[in-house]
Structure 1
Amino acid sequence: MNNELAKKIILPILVFIGILGVWSSIANNVEDFPTPYGTYIAAFGGVNAEGDEITGVLTDPFYIENEDDKGLFWQILNSLQRVFSGFALAIFVGVPLGLFIGMSKNAQYAFDPFIQIFKPVSPLAWLPLLLFIFQDINLTAISTIFVTSIWPIIINTALGVRSVSEDYMNVAKVLRFTPIEKIRQIILPVAVPFIFTGMRLSLGIAWLVIVAAEMLTGGIGIGFWIWDEYNNLNYYNIIIGIIIVGLVGFILDLIMGKISDYFDYTKTGRA
């Protein structure tokens, strides 16, 4: 095992031990705060500190009691369905709009002020208005994801277009390319890595937004599940939910990172 690989294994373990130490210290000083061992038992089952046999929430994530009582797998699946619906809509609108803004100075002047105004708006600010419009929790969550995750796609797509060398654009003029030919043969080979970077950021925002959206709108989903556990005073399950949200977000980012790297010719060596 080389030194670099050893560091990648040992250092995270040391940080994890430190986190457990801080966590245990908080649990010892805050009454009823979940302990690391208690959280493990709540997740995977076993005998708790009081000697009671506990069934862990992760031991049967696929159960369906009724439409409002489902296992964690279905909670995560419902959240992902909303995330990918809003994310796909953001791609469908954001990429063409970003190409248009990147190719036209007038479009940039027209849209940029509004992008800068709406980009920092919290998803929680959009929720009441969108819920009033759609009167449906699924459409509200999807539209909230769309509104808050579209900006990285537009901005990075436009940045990718503006990164195209002026010489290449002059060649397109000489060859009298149509706008579609210009986009397909000149712009996209350069802009695609930027587009996927924007998509990666957008997906991260989408997963971040869905938890807050589901907490407020209700229904089936990991965000609502965490909020419901809080209302039921199941603090161990809240920590389990937080860890699951983090792990799913990490996996989504890892997948998008691999896809982004594949289309980035500066990393793959493809022209």
Structure 2
Amino acid sequence: MSAVMDKIVTQPVEPASESPPAAGEKKALAPEMRRRIAVGAEPTRSGARKAAQRQFLLAVLAPVIGVAVLVLLWQLVAMGNSGFPTPFATLQEAINVFSDPFYQKGPNDQGIGWNLWSSLKRVGMGFGLAAAVGIPLGFMIGRFRFLSAMFGPIISLLKPVSPLAWLPIGLLVFKAANPAAIWAIFICSIWPMIINTAVGVQRVPQDYLNVARVLNLSEWKILTKILFPSVLPYMLTGVRLAIGTAWLVIVAAEMLTGGVGIGFWVWDEWNNLNVPHIIIAIVVIGMVGLLLEQALVALAKAFTYEDVRS
């Protein structure tokens, strides 16, 4: 009896297997499988539609809602203050201003187009001089430790100085408002270029410089073949920061120096108590600053090396 029980216990039990479907059953299952695949693909299409809707909300609808909220707050402020223009009144004034932006009725009575052009010329001159001096100086400071130790305290001391504090120095030295404004732009735009370029040079891997030393490359070869491609993203970041600073400085400098310029136009309209024109100038200043920054962002993307993955 025990031998029989041992045989029963030790005998392996085979799992139950279903018989394979016949040919007719396979044909009947084919539409069911297609239906299941279609049901599984439907959530994928639904998820793609939801992603597109979210992208639309973020790219289009959200900025529109933000502008609408700003206009609503503006209207509420105008309703509580009779001296503050409403958005509709400002829009009407903007149409009048931009209908003839380049009129000239005297040296100090010109359209907003001429004032904006004068400011951009001053920014271009001051910014260009700052780039011509700041970028090479940043390369030298980052490349040589002695220069870094020598200029480091000077940069740390002068960088936090307010832009308008430099304007009296320019008026004293140049005896004229236009070069004084260009001087203020130059001295305030140069620091981001120097600092970012120097940091970029200092972060170049030492292995690159060791290989250059082994190959006995000249300093010019090191600069053009190793340092410049590696430092370019840092340098362009400094240029972006500098152009924003330059555009901020020119508006404040022109308010004090007078003449033709968008800053002087704002101050002149304030003296005339023309608040809608002041708001129009604020919007124009913001849009021009945004366009300048976006142009430099596009330039930085064009010259920045990125990994391309298939």
**TM-score where L is the length of structure 1:** 0.92
**Which residue pairs with 1:106 in the alignment?**
146
How many percent identity over aligned positions? Answer: 45
Report the Cα offset of residue 261 of structure 1: 1.2
Alignment of 1:193-232 (within 5 A): 193-232=233-272
**Which residue pairs with 1:52 in the alignment?**
none
Choose which of 52, 63, 66 in structure 2 pairs with 1:15.
Answer: 66
Amino acid at match of 1:150: I
Alignment of 1:162-173 (within 5 A): 162-173=202-213
Cα RMSD for the two superposed structures:
1.3
User: Per-residue CA shift, 1:69-120, capped at 9, x if unaligned?
Assistant: 2111111110000001000000000011000010011111111111111111
**Which residue pairs with 1:5 in the alignment?**
56
**Alpha-carbon distance in 2 for matches of 1:87, 1:101:** 20
**Which residue pairs with 2:44 in the alignment?**
none
Q: In terms of mean alpha carbon deviation, does 173-182 or 1-10 score higher?
A: 1-10
**Which residue pairs with 2:221 in the alignment?**
181
Report the Cα offset of residue 2 of structure 1: 4.4
- Secondary structure of residue in 1 paired with 2:131: helix
Choose which of 70, 80, 89 in structure 2 pairs with 1:29.
Answer: 80
Choose which of 92, 106, 110 in structure 2 pairs with 1:70.
Answer: 110
Choose which of 88, 94, 114 in structure 1 pairs with 2:128.
Answer: 88
User: How many residues of Structure 1 are paired with residues of Structure 2 in the alignment?
Assistant: 258
**Which residue pairs with 2:171 in the alignment?**
131
**Which residue pairs with 1:236 in the alignment?**
276
**Alpha-carbon distance in 1 for matches of 2:160, 2:234:** 21
**Which residue pairs with 1:47 in the alignment?**
none
Q: In terms of mean alpha carbon deviation, does 33-42 or 65-74 score higher?
A: 65-74
Report the Cα offset of residue 262 of structure 1: 1.0
**Alpha-carbon distance in 1 for matches of 2:199, 2:250:** 27
Structure with the greater alpha carbon radius of gyration: 2
Report the Cα offset of residue 184 of structure 1: 0.4
Amino acid at match of 2:71: L
Amino acid at match of 1:28: M
**Alpha-carbon distance in 2 for matches of 1:261, 1:2:** 28
Amino acid at match of 1:35: T
**Alpha-carbon distance in 1 for matches of 2:220, 2:176:** 38
**Alpha-carbon distance in 1 for matches of 2:69, 2:168:** 40
Report the Cα offset of residue 67 of structure 1: 2.3
User: Per-residue CA shift, 1:43-84, capped at 9, x if unaligned?
Assistant: 11xxxxxxxxxxx11110021222222111111110000001
Report the Cα offset of residue 180 of structure 1: 1.1
Q: In terms of mean alpha carbon deviation, does 255-264 or 5-14 score higher?
A: 5-14
**Alpha-carbon distance in 2 for matches of 1:260, 1:116:** 27
**Alpha-carbon distance in 2 for matches of 1:93, 1:5:** 45
User: Per-residue CA shift, 1:102-140, capped at 9, x if unaligned?
Assistant: 001111111111111111111111111211111111100
Amino acid at match of 1:115: I
- Secondary structure of residue in 1 paired with 2:105: strand
